[in-house]
Structure 1
């Protein structure tokens, strides 16, 4: 496949940019949380049907899947976008801000959905350039790390040879992209912990067993799991994000509830963390005469890109944006359930710049209530996904 064959992709994407912006803003006004994306899915299915694609709905929750078959036989690649929003109150004051209190597209999944639709539109007009087929996966429930598993269980990867996906990055200027070989994003585990003591009057602690003090000691002891038990060359984060206990200033509660997350870059380290936390928590609780109940859930594995697919994505990025606008992405312990797809088929996940040009304005990060994107990234993202498909399937 020659450079000339995809030279018109970005101009073609720019020609439908207004449509993509309007679509993204429509989704932004009407965010839906994980496994609640019924209206978004219905809109996506209608748009894809209008392109003449074979569309299936209700896959893995509200997931939508559409297939585009080229003019000649060949492999099948998949392109994936996520659709769900977050339980965050928006603070952007944009004219198209969320109309649903307490719900916001604070991670840019509205943009991802518009981008993948744009790629589908570009590719549906270029079937004659495809020797094979493209599967468009619009996924629900990425934010709770459940959508990919649900879609895979319902066969979304059947017949798929490779998969590609992207995520917007507001700290990278629009018009740029970032790739990385190997591990790009961390594993995601969740733990919930109940510390039980014996409640009573705050003025008579000797007649109580204080779970608050035990919980405090446990939080500190958990950090030793990282600092003293794991090699400094194996990045790990243990974060307690929620503590609930007691209802009055002068009452020692019966129990304290904690929850948190564990992130790693190593499968072997991820597998050791449940027993390591259980030991530290149980023995520390016992030292304070309390009982501890740990509930540990492994959500998604480390996101590890495959070398061949990274090289291919980089070639497509260079053709669309030029190599000067492609960076080597830094690893992050933030997680993504795209990692689950990569356990089944080879693929590549990369960053799409969505921030202000040259850092001219403040860019709020993902999941921030003031998060927004530079909408110039929409046409760029659509053209990149289309370019990956055409160069991979072109004859």
Structure 2
């Protein structure tokens, strides 16, 4: 298998370079979708796109057992050297390359499975809405095992290591408004000071106490009120909240606490404080069977000495909506060490591209192992 991967290496590098140099943000991955579609057609696949959104998927084979492999395809919108632009600073270019590479390797090895394979190129992971769209379209309804992959920063895994699962936490991003009333700086009793209300909100959120054995956090990440005139007390403000929780149950408790605090402050100050959930991700629900298949694939590829423990990450990933919304699904996500520095979402993020070849082999073996052991 390693010899076949080496033969594919020039093609793999070419694919990665193209994807890296042509990033597109969520729901706008038009050229990315078209590039992948045409590439897969050239290699004998029959990709299917969607009429109402970006992204695509491929189905191969037939049978009772269906194994899926998913990648995200969107980039971040980020400031780089003073200019905002799309950039693959989260490694989705690498994820796409590894999934395409797995498909090319399966084709090159002429590996036949007694079942169905499904490859999903999912849009808008960074917006937290892409997986939900795929679920609504029924793309995963017939999948029994689903695998994913994510590059890991040097702080979690060293180059050459791999983990059979990533336990991301749940995340929720809430926007809110304080709809008070302006007043003259000399007559504060005639208005509703949005800044004071915001300060109360921050203070009360800091007092949230939940089960300390399950990690969680809630913080205000944006607050805007006032104008150029310093003698006007602003009655209106906009703010953002970032919520994190180790489990989906803890996220539900945390959200309820936030809503109660906002309602209480709204009543106390007699102002409206509407909240909108802009995006969210579910906490990981890792299946042990799927994890075992990935663990075996890692050992077969890079040796037991390079097998790392499952990773617990405070970051979020919408891959976990698949298992949250479809409990029958057996899923896990490969964590790939690749000397990624300084970190994910950093505009100057770099990693060892040689790791892509290891990732391709691990994912291919995970698929093969699943068919082998589940059908024996």
Does TM-score exceed 0.5, indicating one fold? yes
Partner of 1:364: 342
- Find the counterpart in structure 2 of residue 253 from structure 1: 234
CA shift digits 1:266-300 (9 cap, x unpaired): 23222233331122123234445544222346733
Partners of 1:246 and 1:252 within 8 A in 2: yes
Higher relative contact order (CA 8 A, sep 6+): 1
Q: Structure 1 residues 301 and 237, CA, compared in 2 at 3 Å: closer, same or farther?
A: same
Q: Secondary structure at the match of 2:119?
A: strand
Match of 2:215 in 1: 235
- C-alpha change, 1:291 and 1:386, in structure 2 (3 Å) is same
One of 167, 173, 186 as aligned partner of 2:158: 173
> 1:334 maps to what in 2?
315
The counterpart of 1:220, out of the listed 194, 198, 203, is: 203
Match of 2:276 in 1: 295
In the alignment, does 2:63 pair up with 1:80? no
Please point out which of 129, 133, 140 is paired with 1:150: 133
> Matched residue of 2:308: which SS?
strand
| Preserved contact between residue 302 and residue 335 of structure 1 (Cα < 8 Å) | yes
Q: Does 1:44 align with 2:36?
A: yes
Q: Count how many residue pairs are aligned between Structure 1 and Structure 2.
A: 367
Which residue is equivalent to 1:13? Answer: 5
Give, in whole Å, the separation in 1 of the partners of 2:132 and 2:121: 13
Please give the alpha-carbon distance, in whole angstroms, between the structure 2 residues aligned to 1:69 and 1:54: 12
**C-alpha distance in 1 between matches for 2:203 and 2:306:** 43
Deviation string 1:231-265 (CA, Å, 9 cap, x unpaired) is 10121111222212122250322211111221212
Relative to 1, partners in 2 of residues 1:158 and 1:291: Cα closer, same or farther, differing over 3 Å?
A: closer
Q: In 2, are the aligned partners of 1:354 and 1:374 still within 8 Å (CA)?
A: yes
- Kept after mapping to 2: 8 A contact 1:81/1:116: yes
Q: Which residue does the alignment assign to 1:23?
A: 15
Structure-2 separation of matches of 1:25 and 1:239? 38
Q: Does 1:348 align with 2:332?
A: yes
Residue number in structure 1 paired with 2:359: 381
* Inter-partner Cα distance in structure 1 for 2:69 and 2:197: 48
| 1:334-393: CA deviation from partner (whole Å, max 9, x where unpaired) | 11111111232111112111216xxxxxx1111111112221121111111111112222
2:4·2:109 contact (CA, 8 Å) conserved in 1? no
Of 181, 189, 199, the residue aligned with 1:198 is 181
Rounded to whole Å, the distance in 2 between the matches of 1:333 and 1:309 is: 22
How far does residue 321 in structure 1 lie from its aligned partner after superposition? 0.9
Alignment of 1:300-339 (within 5 A): 300-339=281-320
Question: Is the 1:300–1:336 Cα contact (8 Å) retained in structure 2?
Answer: yes
Distance 1:24 1:15 in 2: 16
**Equivalent position SS for 1:381:** helix
CA-to-partner distance for each residue in 1:27-69, whole Å, 9 max, x for gaps? 1221101000010011111111122122101277211111232
**Do residues 35 (structure 1) and 27 (structure 2) align?**
yes
> CA–CA distance in 2 between the matches of 1:365 and 1:148?
24
Compared CA separation, residues 189 and 60, structure 1 to 2 (3 A): farther
Q: Structure 1 306/293 Cα, relative in aligned 2: closer, same or farther at 3 Å?
A: same
Stretches of structure 2 that go unaligned for 5 or more consecutive residues are none
8 Å CA contact retained: 1:21, 1:378: no
2:132 and 2:310 mapped to 1: Cα distance?
26
